[in-house]
Amino acid sequence: MSYEPPTPPANFPTEIVNMLNESIPERLRDVATYAEALAEYKAREDRLEESDDQEEVEERPDDLPDDVPAKATITIKEINDNRYYYWQRREGEKVCSQYKGPVSPDD
């Protein structure tokens, strides 16, 4: 049984495809982890920007800390193979995070 390498998306730049094809498996896993985290970050920024555009004020969640704005969203960050909840919100042009607590193994 032979395996064929995956086909890259048609819109990928050639230099990225070549760099990935020349990478070792560990580097590819690092790239995948980074790319997924970056995609989540950018999607979260888009959501925060959309929520900034909405004029309607949403009800404040019960578990939102007093010093976190009502438009904060919850995200999960993985640090040293451990997962943690963080509040994230926009303050001007930057996105700020505030530690909430560990993700339980049941989540």
96 vs 26 pLDDT, higher one: 26
CA gap 76, 29 in Å, rounded: 19
- Considering the entire predicted model, what is its pTM? 0.45
Q: What average pLDDT does this structure show over 47-51?
A: 73
Residue 14: the pLDDT is 93
Who contacts 88 (Cβ-Cβ below 8 Å, separation ≥6)?
Answer: 44, 48, 72, 73, 74, 75, 95, 96, 97, 98
pLDDT grade, residue 29 (50/70/90)? very high
Rg (CA), the chain: 19
Whether residue 67 has pLDDT greater than 90:
no
Who contacts 40 (Cβ-Cβ below 8 Å, separation ≥6)?
Answer: 75
pLDDT grade, residue 85 (50/70/90)? confident
The percentage of the chain sitting over the pLDDT mark of 70, rounded to a whole number, equals 77
